[in-house]
Amino acid sequence: MKMQRITTHRTIGLLSIVILCASCGSESNSAAGPGVELHACEIAPASEVARIFGNPVSDASPSMESVNGKSARSQCSYRFEGAGMGLSVQVRRYGHKVGTSRQADADASRKQKDSLGIGEDVANAIEAGTDIEGLGDLAYDFDDHGNYQQLVVYWKDYYQLAIISFGGTDTGKMATARQELARLVMDSM
């Protein structure tokens, strides 16, 4: 149980680093599409997450909200019944056009200075990841040594989606489910 808590805290910390790394840069005054509020728990409802992942969701709650304005982000954390599986979905709208690459995200992560070397670990995982064709403008999936798996998608010039999952036993099935959930999120916006 103690190891699971440490892994969960590390997973949450890693997710925050990856998302925040990708959000580095100056905000501009250009419009970033509609100024609608972002609410990840509404964009990816628990019922749809349960259907896609084939496991009932016992809890879905916002874990990060800065939902309105040119630059906005919202994150929803999901807990599944049994099996210790979890999922986090973060949707981000930038205040400027985003032109990035998997290597740029790895480089940004590597620049993070932390005492545990998490930024370097994430950068290495991103570089070893897999590009996903036909999903948004840029999409890639990576695994952090079995601790968690993450799908990152950029689309419509201003949006980024990060879906992180952990605790699932069939990583191939989980990867497919993350991609299906990403399509649902993009279609919802």
Would residue 161 count as lying in a domain? yes
Would residue 151 count as lying in a domain? yes
HSE at residue 179, side-chain half, CA atoms within 13 A, is: 18
Would residue 57 count as lying in a domain? yes
Would residue 106 count as lying in a domain? yes
Instruction: Read off the pLDDT of residues 144-157 as tens digits, 9 standing for 90 and up.
Output: 888 899 999 999 99
Would residue 172 count as lying in a domain? yes
Residue 88, both tokens: 């986090």
Would residue 31 count as lying in a domain? no
d(CA 177, CA 44): 13
Would residue 121 count as lying in a domain? yes
Q: Which domain holds residue 12?
A: 2-25+37-188
Instruction: Read off the pLDDT of residues 44-94 as tens digits, 9 standing for 90 and up.
Output: 999 999 999 999 999 999 987 886 667 899 999 999 998 688 999 999 998
Residue 46, both tokens: 């628990």
Q: What is the pTM of this model?
A: 0.80
Query: Which string of DSSP letters, residue by residue, matches 53-98?
Result: HTS-EEEEEEEEEE-SSSSEEEEEEEEESSTT-EEEEEEEE-SS--
Would residue 30 count as lying in a domain? no
How many domains does the chain contain in total? Answer: 1
d(CA 8, CA 38): 25
